[in-house]
Amino acid sequence: MKTAFVTGASSGIGQATARALAAAGFQLIIAGRRQERLAALAAELAPVPVHALAFDVRDRAAVEAAVGGLPAEFARIDVLINNAGNAHGLAPIQDGDVADWDAMLDGNVKGLLYVSRAVLPRMGEGGFIVNIGSIAGHEAYANGNVYCASKAAVAMLTRTMRLDLLPRGIRVAEVAPGMVETEFSEVRFKGDEARAATVYKGVQPLTAADIADLIQFMVTRPPHVQIAEVIIFPAAQAAAATVRRDA
């Protein structure tokens, strides 16, 4: 049985991806910061073998300890989904909160690097890494500044990882979603549910399951097929800041 490692699996896209990959026949390593949610997901997915790891991807020592301590039956990793990340605030650059900047750069960029570096020694030929980016990494929008920059880094890291890992036969891809209704906006607006709800007002956004379905398709293609980069929008969206809203 192949093994898939999913970060940010305690909610949203990561949680949905864990479900989709379990349905596709993978055993799972699920990682996140909320142990109780990971335990609930593992119980839901039974009898699929699941190993849960509670850590913050921004903590390099914790990442290395968790991956280094994997039991033998999960020692080889075939698929890595670098999903963990965050967005904080929506302010012009001159008003930005430095703590928010640190959280986004540490989670979205350095966290991806820490996890990839720890997992790669356990991945052989035929492995597949999917980095979850964003349309924000391909198009700038007002007040997106550091979040856009962090996701642009994910896009470029994906491309360079694909070059570096080609000799090892490891495929690397980016999925860059547009509007997806998860906890994302609540986190960005620091728990302001009313403000978060306005993001999707008059729009039918993508769901976490839509992204998970795409990821499942990508990583189950034949070994000679690599879907390298996908931008995925809801039908009501044409660009990062161009959305048709119903009255």
Cα end-to-end distance, the chain, whole Å: 49
- CB contact set of 16 (below 8 Å; sequence gap of 6+): 207, 208, 209, 211, 212
**Annotated catalytic residue: which of 114, 141, 147, 200?**
147
Question: Is 147 a known active-site residue?
Answer: yes
Per-residue CA distances from 38 to 51, 98, 134, 165 (Å): 9, 30, 24, 30
In the chain, where does DSSP find H-type helix?
12-23, 35-45, 60-68, 98-105, 111-119, 145-165, 184-188, 193-199, 208-219
Instruction: At 14, list the tokens.
Output: 């990561």
The CB density around residue 74, as the number of other CB atoms within 10 Å, is 18
Pairing of strands 27-32, 237-239: unpaired
SS3 call for 59:
coil
Catalytic residue numbers read: 147
